[in-house]
Structure 1
Amino acid sequence: MKRVLTALCMLCILCVSAQEFNKEIITENGRQLLVGKINLEGLQSQPYGSWFQNKYDNYHPDDTMVTLFKEKLSEYNTKLFLGTWCGDSKRESPRFIKILEAADFPMEQLEIIALDYRKGHYKTSPTGEEKGLNIIKVPTIIFFKDGKEVNRIVESPLETLEEDIAQIVFEKDYVPNYAY
């Protein structure tokens, strides 16, 4: 009986502390936004799915480049900061996801965080995942290796997403847009 109670207590603690995914807010003007940690289900839900799926379906990754960096990419964890309100995020995020899938990237190594755009909350998330990461433009894709930031792609790639990813994972000289 004691073990059952302990297990139930642990389960309750896990449920209470679990991160809520795909939190949606409605702005003063009635616009829907995702904020905080999100997943592909959130991006594929409406109204976001209409732009996400269209951009995803119509993008064709450069298979030669993907093959080149596929093995090395799996050594990284990535964080994708986006705004479901942002045109650049709507363009680049579906492409990035499709490239990761083409590279058989372990998706549990990807964290997607949607940022707010309302006054007083601009480029923040409800639980502060952006704090200390100098997120000035979205999308921002940060590549981490061994828990340390290696590099990032900010707002748009310098060349193509595939070429920029290759530069980063092969640790070439790569300076992103809006370098800090």
Structure 2
Amino acid sequence: MKKNITKILAASILALATQNFNAQKVVVNREVETTNDGKMLLGNQLKDQFLKEPYSEWYTKEFNEYSLDQKAVGELKKNKINSYNLIVFMGTWCEDSHRDFPRLMKILEEVKFPDSRLTIIAVNRKKESPTGDESKYNVQKVPTIIVEKFGKEIGRIIEMPTTGYIERDLVEILKKDDKSVIKEIFKKEN
């Protein structure tokens, strides 16, 4: 009897674990063919996907031509940007994304930003993704670059950097952080 209960319990735990694992699968590097826009990326993407045609045409050119603000890049390193998470919503059909997404990737490469802390979500012209994350983050325009720490949003860059440089806007966002997020997390636990 005890063996049977143990077997049933083990099978139940295994079934639940498998169910949870399957529920968390996210399709990565989805590409769709559209009537008006041709090939379009949709949903979660890895940065290597932008080195493939037809995206590489605009991505590589902007990445290579962009001159980094080295002072701002130094500030990003000093302010430990690598300890934050970035969620980037962009559209492969969007001219602003064509300009700013490669620039952001160049900045992140320069600061050696860990891929594990970067989420890239490509949306369609209606600003929709297969996972619906755009609703969770209230994304209205692309590109939208969201900076998070401990699961809480610190700030975002919407469509265009206000300073004209993504790296300068990121520095301003990190300066605002000032440990207020940690205070808020501990306030919620009490």
With the length of structure 2 as denominator, give the TM-score of the two structures. Answer: 0.78
Matches within 5 A, 1:101-140: 101-117=109-125, 122-140=126-144
Structure 1 unaligned spans of 5+: 1-6, 173-180
Flag the 1:30–1:134 CA change in 2: closer, same or farther, 3 A: closer
1 CA distance for matches of 2:37 and 2:58?
A: 18
Superposition pairs of residues 160-175 of structure 1, within 5 angstroms: 160-171=165-176
Letter in 1 for 2:45: I
| Range with greater deviation from structure 2 (85-94 or 36-45) | 36-45
Inter-partner Cα distance in structure 2 for 1:135 and 1:165: 18
The alpha-carbon deviation at position 28 of structure 1 amounts to 2.5
Matched residue SS, 2:127: coil
1:1-180 map, 5 Å:
17-29=24-36, 31-71=38-78, 72-117=80-125, 122-159=126-163, 160-171=165-176
Measure the CA separation in 2 of the matches of 1:66 and 1:47: 29
Looking at structure 2, the residues matched to 21 and 90 of structure 1 have their Cα atoms a distance apart, in angstroms, of 20
How many aligned positions are there?
164
Secondary structure of the residue aligned to 1:116 is coil
Counterpart of 2:107 in 1: which secondary structure?
Answer: helix
Partner SS, residue 124 of structure 1: coil
Distance 1:45 1:16, change over 3 A: farther
Moved more, 91-100 or 128-137: 128-137
How far, CA to CA, are the matches of 1:82 and 1:123 in structure 2? Answer: 9
Residue pair 1:70, 1:105 contacting (<8 A) in 2 also: no
The one-letter code matched in structure 1 to 2:48 is E
Q: 1:61 to 1:20 in 2, by over 3 A?
A: same
Query: CA-atom RMSD, angstroms?
Result: 2.4
Cα deviation, residue 60, structure 1: 2.0
- TM normalised by structure 1 equals 0.82
1:132 to partner: Cα distance: 2.3
Q: Could you list the runs of 5+ residues in structure 2 that have no partner in the other structure?
A: 1-13, 178-190
